[in-house]
Structure 1
């Protein structure tokens, strides 16, 4: 009798584990949504840059801040591209970690280590953090383009902002071959 119960429990456990294993496929939903969001971010970034370039052809450049606004629009496009790249990394990483390794990526792999080569959760986190910090640096740069410098304190804040951006870039890339993230 105990052997029969043990056999039933083992079958139940096996069925439950198979269902549990298949349930990981629900992760396809965030993968698909992040890939769709990537396309949207790339399209929006492209539209922003095209809009900026079209404004170059406008002959009525009477504003003093035209160059800053033009650069701001281009930087916004670049920022949207970086956000799209972060979404792409997220989608690929979730797919590779939870669903299946991407065989097509492995066929053309020349030693690995690419941005989309994600083998564990720490690599996914590291790559996302790097891209997002760069996106934040670009956003801060955009804000600095229109920052009015009228007196000593505003110049000091501007310089402090440049210093913090440089420090952020240094921390993300690492120093002397050592990786900090």
Structure 2
């Protein structure tokens, strides 16, 4: 029994997403190691330059979140398009004879394209939230109004993510 052509082409998206995920996780780990090196350099020189350390950690969080989004997308695409279907018997593998996944992982929670879009949308919103915080590191907070605007923007973006998560649970 041959592999349908659309399932074969979907493997490119799955492989690209999973490889991109690995690259993001490696980049995040390198940023965390760089932040440790910077922290120990600050301690040894008795400097008070923690802003660069915070910047490195925010970039690491961003890389980890992007890697997680790519991982969820890749596994979701695999489960929906390449994974077990009625055309594959229980004894056969479903990845060109190399791998068999009886059931999708519980953390995936995707059974349709709509659910995949929702999961990726949530991940993108979280990445944008980290980006908002990253942009504020370069803005000096001189007056009380600056601090109030900063707090209001963080509250607003966090409230948007909260509302988005509540809308998702009601659907």
TM-score bracket, normalised by the shorter chain, equals 0.7 to 0.9
Query: Which of 3, 11, 14 is the equivalent residue of 1:28?
Result: 11
Return 155-164 or 71-80, whichever deviates more.
155-164
Structure with bigger helix share is 1
Rounded Cα–Cα distance in structure 1 between residues aligned with 2:149 and 2:169: 29
Rounded Cα–Cα distance in structure 2 between residues aligned with 1:104 and 1:152: 56
The 5 Å alignment of 1:48-87 reads 48-58=31-41, 59-62=44-47, 64=48, 66-87=49-70
- 2:162 aligned with 1:170: yes
TM-score, length of structure 2 as denominator length: 0.77
TM-score, length of structure 1 as denominator length: 0.73
Partner of 1:148, secondary structure, is: coil
Return 93-102 or 83-92, whichever deviates more.
93-102
Equivalent residue number for residue 13 of structure 1: none
Gaps of 5+ in 1: 1-17
Equivalent residue number for residue 9 of structure 1: none
Partner of 1:57, secondary structure, is: helix
Gaps of 5+ in 2: 85-93, 95-99
RMSD value, Cα: 2.7
Equivalent residue number for residue 131 of structure 1: 123
Equivalent residue number for residue 92 of structure 1: 75
- Structure 1 residues 128, 105: closer, same or farther in 2, change over 3 A? farther
Q: Is the 8 A contact 2:83 2:101 kept in 1?
A: no
Rounded Cα–Cα distance in structure 1 between residues aligned with 2:142 and 2:73: 42
Deviation at 1:142, TM superposition (A): 2.4
Deviation at 1:43, TM superposition (A): 0.2
Q: Is the 8 A contact 1:68 1:146 kept in 2?
A: no
Equivalent residue number for residue 169 of structure 2: 179
Q: Is the 8 A contact 1:133 1:172 kept in 2?
A: no
Equivalent residue number for residue 136 of structure 2: 144
Structure 1 segments of 4+ aligned residues over 3 angstroms from their partners: 18-21, 101-105
